[in-house]
Chains A and B, each alone.
Chain A
Amino acid sequence: MAEKKIKIIVAKPGLDGHDRGAKLLSRIFAEAGMEVVYTGLRQTPEMIVEAALQEDADVVGLSSLSGVHNYFFPKVVELLKEKKLANVLVVGGGIIPLEDIPGLKQAGIAEIFGPGTTTDVIVDFIKSNVRAK
């Protein structure tokens, strides 16, 4: 039996409008055989977690370029836990200073992908870490 497709929510938290990366990755993930739901802009953590719940997602990918990652990313993880979705893999990317990454990882974000990351690295990471928890 074919394995169930990986389902990923690609989300833009907050008011940031830079969605080049989010849209590009949505296409790349789909090509890599995943089922992708792109939320569009201006998502609150609650909206993102609700989407993950409704869609029965395996992965949530968060993209932020406006400096709100320290607030939004941990909040999404926290709400996922509340909804008993702690097994959902959460990854993030965008304009994120290196010094913020340890804190984000400690808060439960599995990996942060900075500018210049090739897309195969992201796809590989997701494929090898999804449903591992």
Chain B
Amino acid sequence: MFNEKELKKIRAGKKNWSDGPLAKTLSKAPEKKAFGTWSWIPVDTLYTPADVAGIDYERDLGYPGEFPYTRGVQTNMYRGRFWTMRQYAGFGSAKETNERYRYLLKQGQTGLSVAFHLPTQAGYDSDHPLSMGEVGKVGAAIDHIGDMRILFDQIPLGKVTTSMTINAAATVLLGMYLSIAEEQGVPFDQIGGTIQNDVLKEIICRGQYIYPPKPTMRLTVDLIEYCQKYVPRWNSISVSGYHIRESGATAAQEMAFTIADGIAYVEACVARGMPVDSFAPRLSFFFNAFTDVLEEVAKFRAARRFWAKTMKNRFDAKVPQSMMLRYHVQTGGVTLTAQQPLNNIVRVGLQTYAAALGGCQSLHTDSYDEAWCTPTQQAVTVALRTQQIVAEESGACVTVDPLGGSYYVEYLTDKIEAEIEDYIKKIDAMGGTLSAIEQGYIQKEIQNSSYKFQKEIDSKERTYVGVNRYVMEEPPVTDLLKVDMKVGEEKAKELKQWRAARDQAAWKKGLDNLREVSKTDQNVMPAVIEAVKANATVGEICDVWRQVFGEYRPKEFIS
């Protein structure tokens, strides 16, 4: 970006400055030993064009909406339309959650995001012994198509887009969603939304796995293939770094391991015989946003560029949409503190700003009370308003990639991209992502970062406001959201009636057919849809596969 003559001048100028004025300042008032980003990238006093001399503008940065998408995936970004404001929500019964959705839509939220309770995510019905105590706790209790009908009551599925955080059981819940859309008279090609469907990160760090890696990947690819044919506006996977970061990864590790998972999914789809450009435009991603705004922005830019190059060079993608890293962001749950919880509003504000400056396509902002409980309505409202303030008032959205060209941010972008590349090479050398996971490599890398972070907090080497510095006595936090234990009892009663009332022959036929199809290499989706319409429950369908595929039991790696 700068000619040699100019760079020479700048290098000399910086040397004079650092030997002169800077040295003088430091002799009077020494700095602390070292500075770094949140994720330990060493940081210098000042960045100049000399630090980014290797950048070729057209090749490395380019223009928004054009390869390599460093500056963004849309040509005019938020000048055209803000990101989709999408709060992950769900608790208690389908009815309570439906009420929260309708409230959020009324407050200006533009998309839905379904939180399912853990039994649904793990493929158990609410009355299963392992569901004890969990019913309706961290999401809505959804056991069957009847619950889904209540969940989306009076919500037009042709108009809103819906994101569903469901992975090992993704095919089942998508089958229910499609059936409800059909009941509402909305054709499949008019439905928009996203399903997480990312089973690899469940094995790495999130824990909501059901089946061993191979069959669970088969279900993932079945869903992608089905959507590519029949639900063209649906993002058939959301490859997730969010939970990788929450588990302790650095910013660069978050992007590297997510991209490693992305590569594994692309390879699996290609192996199925799908041309890369037939499905890659519907791959989407999900990342975290922490409080170190500039590192986060660099992380997003680096990942966009690296993914575009990977799709083009490694997978020979030709269609631009195949190369675009489109992603949802959620602010960092793990950055929130139980101490002085109102401080979290500021953290979330900064993280929202990072997500906007980084160019996200949709965003969930955490609520300030989440280190205590599932968020209350008041806390959720503040979180949504935070997005609206950043969008409407902060000036982050009036131009595209406003931090592009900052010497520091470009330097960090290069640095993070290099680290991503390095990890991908290592993982390739280990035989690919699945093999790296089986060897515990990715898990151990994450744990090492988590350990290092905690040690810094414990030793006060790293300051965490309200936790290890600026601590104060405070009254206990009250007014928390409580999920009534009765939800579990009511759900168990309801399930009993549901199972008794359905057409037993149709139900049995649905499950038998699903079992047979699952044993072949045919796509399971049509059989899943038939089974959910025959009123089979999530647990019953997942049990069919437990019999056919077996269950996953992970090795635990403690580094």
Contacts and interface: CB of A to CB of B under 8 A. Distances in A.
Interface of A: 14-20, 23-24, 26-28, 30, 36, 38, 40-42, 44, 66-68, 70-72, 95, 97-99, 114-116, 118-120
Contacts of A38: 556, 558
Contacts of B467: 116
Between B129, B371, B468, the greatest number of chain A beta carbons within 10 A of the residue's beta carbon is seen for B371
Interface in B537-559: 554, 556, 558-559
A97 B480 contact: yes
A14 B208 CA distance: 11
Contacts of B119: 15
Given A20-B246, A67-B483, A119 B458 contact: yes
A120 B115 CA distance: 35
A63 B119 CA distance: 18
A71 B133 contact: yes
Most chain A CB atoms below 10 A, which of B119, B130, B202: B130
Given A67-B137, A119-B458, A15 B556 contact: no
Contacts of B202: 17
Given A15-B121, A17-B207, A20-B450, A67 B558 contact: no
B130 A71 contact: no
Nearest to B246: A20
Interface string B450-466: 11001001100000101
B118 A116 contact: no
Interface string B199-215: 00010011110000000
Given A14-B133, A115-B338, A23 B447 contact: yes
What are the nearest 9 A-B pairs in CB distance?
Answer: A17-B207, A71-B133, A15-B118, A68-B133, A67-B137, A115-B338, A116-B467, A98-B476, A118-B458
Interface centre among A16, A28, A67, A115 (most CB of B within 10 A): A67
A20 B468 contact: no
Contacts of B468: 118
Given A97-B372, A99-B476, A26 B558 contact: yes
Interface string B117-131: 011011010000111
Contacts of B205: 17, 19-20
B131 A15 contact: yes
A41 B130 CA distance: 12
A119 B454 contact: yes
Contacts of A42: 122, 130, 207
A118 B467 CA distance: 9
Contacts of A68: 132-134, 137
Nearest to A65: B138
Contacts of B247: 19-20
Nearest to B337: A116
A14 B478 CA distance: 26
B447 A27 contact: yes
6 contacts: A38-B558, A42-B122, A66-B118, A66-B138, A99-B476, A115-B337
B314 to A, nearest CB: 31
A40 B556 contact: yes
A11 B267 CA distance: 36
A16 B208 CA distance: 8
User: Could you say which interface size class chain B belongs to?
Assistant: 35 or more
Interface in B472-500: 476-478, 480, 483, 485
A113 B197 CA distance: 34
Nearest to B558: A26
Contacts of A70: 133, 485
Given A17-B202, A42-B130, A118 B457 contact: yes
A95 B337 contact: no
Contacts of A14: 118, 130, 132-134
B334 interface: yes
Contacts of A119: 454, 458
Candidate in B133, B206, B248, B457 with the most chain A CB atoms within 10 angstroms: B133
B339 interface: yes
Nearest to B247: A20
B374 interface: yes
B403 interface: no
A126 B556 CA distance: 24
B418 interface: no
B373 interface: yes
Contacts of B134: 14-15, 66-68
A67 B373 contact: yes
A16 B558 contact: no
A133 B466 CA distance: 35
A41 B207 contact: yes
A45 B485 CA distance: 18
A23 B208 CA distance: 17
A114 B458 contact: no
A97 B370 CA distance: 10
A106 to B, nearest CB: 17
A115 B371 contact: yes
A24 B454 contact: yes
A95 B131 CA distance: 18
A18 B339 CA distance: 20
Contacts of A115: 337-338, 371
A71 B132 contact: yes
Contacts of B206: 17
A49 B129 CA distance: 17
Given A66-B138, A67-B483, 4 more contacts: A15-B118, A15-B124, A66-B137, A71-B133
A4 B257 CA distance: 41
Contacts of B138: 66-67
Interface in B353-374: 371-374
Contact of A67 (B132, B248, B374): B374
A42 B553 CA distance: 10
B447 A24 contact: yes
Contacts of A44: 129-130
Contacts of A24: 248, 447, 450-451, 454
Given A41-B207, A119-B454, A119-B458, A98 B477 contact: yes
B556 A116 contact: no
